[in-house]
Amino acid sequence: MAATEAAGKLAYRIYRAVSYGAEAAVNLHLRWRRLRGREHSLRWTERLGLPSLSRPTGPLLWFHAVSLGEGMTAIPIIKECIKQRPDVNVLMTTTTVSAFEVISKRLPSGVIYQFAPLDTPSAVGAFLGYWKPNAIILIESELWPNLIMGASENGIVLALLNARMSSKSFKKFSGPVLLPLISLMLSKFSLIVPLSTMQAIHFQLLQASPYIIKFSGDLKYVVEEFDASEGELRSTQDLRLQLAHRQVWMASSIHRGEEESQFPVICFQY
């Protein structure tokens, strides 16, 4: 175990050095994405860890999800946290513009929304230094070395909810090159909530402590119940009735405009 930890620390030092050296190129790429409309035209600097809002006084919980689906999963949890601890400030971050456009309108009043920092030493350091979260709740598969190690070094509690990874990612992470780094990162978590038994086995095989793995089921199943408005539920029910006797094809997790430019849909009555 000591040898694995030492190998993990060495791997992280290499990752940190490479990500530090790549900061200039990453920043240029971020600007290119902004010009293409893939980053927010006004708030893109938040991805560099630069805040656009003031940090309120008091304890702060940071929820992070990569995109819309994962972000929607976090909303019922955020609502429950506010209900249980109204004295705690909540910060929500995602990485995509599409998630921002939807989630920012659904969050409870008072929740702070920012774009997540890139996983470079400067961006993560600036973000953690400004917001100073007491705990970070990551959704699904957000395992970024600079973020996780930086949080641990600052004494910030880490949790991973609806934890999952694809078979391809598991195979890659369990190899001899990346396993020490992944094992080191997972050792920094206080709680991992996998979305299935198989996912729990994956995390244990990646050397996460079984004592921090707890079960709750797939949290995406509570999104409709707790976060959809009455009108949205009625519209969904009407659509289900209309499509009950048809074969349905669906494109999901697409970017704005792709359904027009890349996915022409022809509907057939069966």
The residues annotated with a catalytic role in the active site are: 70
In angstroms, rounded to a whole number, what is the distance separating the alpha carbons of residues 92 and 94? 7
In angstroms, rounded to a whole number, what is the distance separating the alpha carbons of residues 86 and 107? 15
Which 3 state secondary structure label does DSSP give 220?
helix
Which 3 state secondary structure label does DSSP give 15?
helix
Residues 6 or more apart whose CB falls under 8 angstroms from that of 6 comprise none
DSSP conformation class of 93: E
- Tokens at residue 108, please? 């409870």
Q: Phi-psi region for residue 37, left (φ > 0), alpha (ψ -120 to 50) or beta?
A: left
Residue 90, beta-bridge partner list: 61
Contact 232, 106 (CB under 8 A): no
In angstroms, rounded to a whole number, what is the distance separating the alpha carbons of residues 93 and 112? 8
Residue from 76, 77, 63 nearest 114 by CA:
63
- Tokens at residue 251, please? 């494109």
Contact 202, 165 (CB under 8 A): yes
Sign of CA dihedral 216, 218, 219, 225: negative
Q: Report CA dihedral (252, 257, 263, 264) to the nearest 10 degrees.
A: 130
